[in-house]
């Protein structure tokens, strides 16, 4: 504190063009005044905030938007940044940040302290969003996760601290063999990313994935690093049978819930018995299992494998994903929708997830220690692929609230775990690795 006081004193003196000998401010006075100012600002801001427990009107199949906006509205770092309009000083571009302005207006209306309205209309915000992202025009139901990605991307572009047209400087990749090669390479790639893309959105949501490719011919490891704003996790398939009937001709009928198909053979009866024996019946999948599946080693055949740096050709290889840099806000997408040849299927397996202390350490760099996250919002999807509905559940000062378009109601913590959880929002609690 003493050092920063000195620095601040110097800065004030030089900025005002004052002569140091004419300035008579003691450090403690300066410190007290600044702390006082900060406290006043903090208080003023606190006073201006309502409960935030305000619903959003559905303006025509917009539950996907409402649910995501409520989750983002409960992302404190983003909310305060919007309410204080800090992006106006932050952004590089001279262009009007139209979408960010409108998004901030929605958040401001949601957090207004004595708003007579019990709900906010996001219509104008949605219209401006659709102008920016024509992919979303039309009135059909949209995917909440896709909307989140497009929204964060657009907001980032508007409030980027770096100029938009900047030639990427590609450094010559010198092979280094130091012990810290991976972390050095990852850091260099991250810096390169920040050179072009640096915003509050990046500060909060961006992390870095490390993909390690191991060549089966020459044993060479090729490493690539990619920025991510959410982790899209596969949901493991669970096959279980809910009921069976014995027919008159002693042939069993099994109904397999996860594939919604009926098998009418004796074999299926045996299959069912073995499944029940393995106590797979009604099993709940854990979030850790989804993460395990995401980061498990994947065998790639020659055709699907990228080039091996050393062999200089496609070879059989194995690929593994780990998290190199942990984001402050971790968005987890439970990928319930899978494309089959003719249609899209939705998995309604219950995925249980921890509300506090989700440890991502095991999915990070070797020996990175525990990296703990706490849950603060969930975007739920109920119904089927074509007839679905999105709602949000968010953590409040006391307990949890469910946001179902314009309806807001409290919800018991026990009811958070359901087979509808679709996008999970976690906040970093502690991280023992050095965050650069």
Known catalytic residues? 63, 389
SS3 assignment, position 350: coil
Shortest CB 309 distance to Zn ion, Å: 7
Tokens of 400: 């949890």
Shortest CB 321 distance to Zn ion, Å: 20
SS3 assignment, position 143: coil
DSSP character at residue 49:
B
d(CA 141, CA 156): 24
Q: For Zn ion, which is the closer residue by CB, 216 or 406?
A: 216
SS3 assignment, position 402: strand
Sign of the Cα torsion 312, 313, 318, 322 reads: positive
Interface stretch with Zn ion, choices 51-59, 158-166, 213-221, 283-291 (CB under 5 A): 213-221
Shortest CB 212 distance to Zn ion, Å: 13
Is position 214 an interface residue for Zn ion (rule: CB under 5 A)?
A: no
Measured CA to CA in angstroms, residue 15 lies from 11, 12, 18, 230, 425 at distances of 6, 5, 8, 42, 42
Shortest CB 219 distance to Zn ion, Å: 7
Q: For Zn ion, which is the closer residue by CB, 235 or 308?
A: 308
Shortest CB 93 distance to Zn ion, Å: 44
Residues 306-365 that bind Zn ion (CB under 5 A): 308, 310-311
Q: For Zn ion, which is the closer residue by CB, 94 or 219?
A: 219
d(CA 153, CA 145): 12
Answer for which of 110, 182, 204, 215 binds Zn ion (CB under 5 A) is: 215
CB 358 within 8 A of CB 374: yes
Of 298, 259, 327, the residue nearest 75 (C-alpha): 327
Interface stretch with Zn ion, choices 66-74, 176-184, 218-226, 401-409 (CB under 5 A): 218-226
Q: For Zn ion, which is the closer residue by CB, 35 or 217?
A: 217
Answer for which of 12, 25, 188, 218 binds Zn ion (CB under 5 A) is: 218
DSSP character at residue 278:
T
Answer for which of 217, 245, 251, 262 binds Zn ion (CB under 5 A) is: 217
d(CA 430, CA 137): 40
Q: For Zn ion, which is the closer residue by CB, 214 or 346?
A: 214
Q: For Zn ion, which is the closer residue by CB, 218 or 262?
A: 218
Q: For Zn ion, which is the closer residue by CB, 217 or 262?
A: 217
Residues 294-313 that bind Zn ion (CB under 5 A): 308, 310-311
Is position 220 an interface residue for Zn ion (rule: CB under 5 A)?
A: yes
d(CA 373, CA 352): 15
DSSP character at residue 146:
H
CB 189 within 8 A of CB 169: no
Radius of gyration of the chain (CA): 26
Shortest CB 225 distance to Zn ion, Å: 20
- Which conformational region is residue 99 in: left (phi greater than 0), alpha (psi within -120 to 50 degrees), or beta? alpha
- E strands in 39-131: 55-56, 119-120
Q: For Zn ion, which is the closer residue by CB, 216 or 374?
A: 216
Number of residues lying near Zn ion (CB under 5 A)? 7
Tokens of 315: 């070879």
Shortest CB 306 distance to Zn ion, Å: 11
Q: Site mask, Zn ion, residues 144-173, x = CB under 5 A?
A: ------------------------------
Shortest CB 214 distance to Zn ion, Å: 9
DSSP character at residue 303:
G
Tokens of 66: 């409402």
Q: For Zn ion, which is the closer residue by CB, 220 or 429?
A: 220
Tokens of 14: 């030089």
Shortest CB 315 distance to Zn ion, Å: 5
d(CA 312, CA 217): 11
CB 25 within 8 A of CB 9: yes
Interface stretch with Zn ion, choices 23-31, 41-49, 219-227, 335-343 (CB under 5 A): 219-227
Measured CA to CA in angstroms, residue 41 lies from 33, 45, 46, 49 at distances of 12, 6, 8, 13
d(CA 191, CA 196): 9
Which spans of this chain sit near Zn ion (rule: CB under 5 A)? 215, 217-218, 220, 308, 310-311
């Amino acid at each position: 504190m003493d050092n920063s006081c000195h620095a601040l004193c110097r800065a004030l003196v030089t900025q005002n063009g004052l002569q140091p000998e004419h300035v008579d401010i003691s450090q403690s006075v300066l410190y007290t005044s600044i702390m006082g100012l900060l406290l006043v600002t903090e208080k003023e801001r606190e006073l201006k905030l309502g409960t935030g427990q305000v619903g959003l009107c559905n303006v025509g199949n917009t539950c996907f938007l409402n649910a995501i906006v409520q989750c983002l509205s409960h992302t404190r770092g983003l909310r305060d940044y919007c309410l204080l309009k800090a992006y106006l000083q932050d952004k590089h571009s001279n262009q009007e940040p139209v979408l960010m302005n409108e998004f901030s207006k929605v958040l401001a209306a949601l957090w207004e302290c004595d708003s007579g309205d019990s709900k906010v209309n996001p219509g104008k915000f949605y219209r401006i969003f659709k102008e920016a992202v024509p992919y979303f025009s039309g009135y059909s139901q949209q995917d909440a996760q896709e909307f989140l990605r497009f929204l964060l991307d657009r907001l980032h572009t508007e409030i980027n601290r770096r100029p938009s047209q900047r030639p990427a400087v590609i450094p010559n990749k010198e092979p280094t063999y130091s012990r810290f090669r991976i972390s050095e390479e990852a850091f260099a790639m991250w810096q390169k990313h920040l050179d072009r893309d640096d915003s509050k959105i990046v500060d909060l949501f961006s992390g870095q994935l490390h993909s390690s490719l191991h060549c089966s011919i020459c044993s060479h490891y090729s490493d690539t690093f990619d920025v991510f704003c959410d982790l899209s996790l596969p949901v493991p398939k669970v096959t279980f049978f809910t009921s069976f009937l014995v027919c008159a001709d002693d042939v069993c009928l099994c109904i397999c819930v996860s594939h919604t198909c009926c098998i009418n053979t004796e074999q299926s009866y045996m299959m069912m018995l073995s499944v029940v024996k393995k106590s797979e019946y009604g099993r709940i999948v854990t979030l850790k299992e989804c993460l395990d599946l995401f980061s498990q080693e994947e065998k790639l055949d020659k055709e699907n494998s990228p080039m091996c740096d050393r062999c200089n050709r496609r070879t059989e290889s194995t690929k593994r994903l780990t998290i190199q840099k942990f984001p402050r806000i971790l968005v987890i997408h439970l990928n319930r929708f899978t494309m089959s040849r003719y249609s899209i299927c939705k998995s309604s397996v219950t995925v249980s997830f921890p509300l506090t202390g989700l440890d991502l350490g095991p999915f990070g760099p070797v020996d990175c220690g525990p990296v703990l996250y706490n849950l603060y919002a969930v975007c739920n999807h109920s119904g089927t692929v074509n007839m679905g509905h999105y709602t949000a559940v968010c953590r409040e000062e006391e307990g949890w609230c469910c946001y179902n378009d314009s309806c807001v109601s409290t919800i018991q913590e026990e009811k958070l775990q359901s087979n509808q959880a679709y996008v999970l929002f976690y906040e970093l609690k502690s991280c023992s690795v050095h965050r650069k």
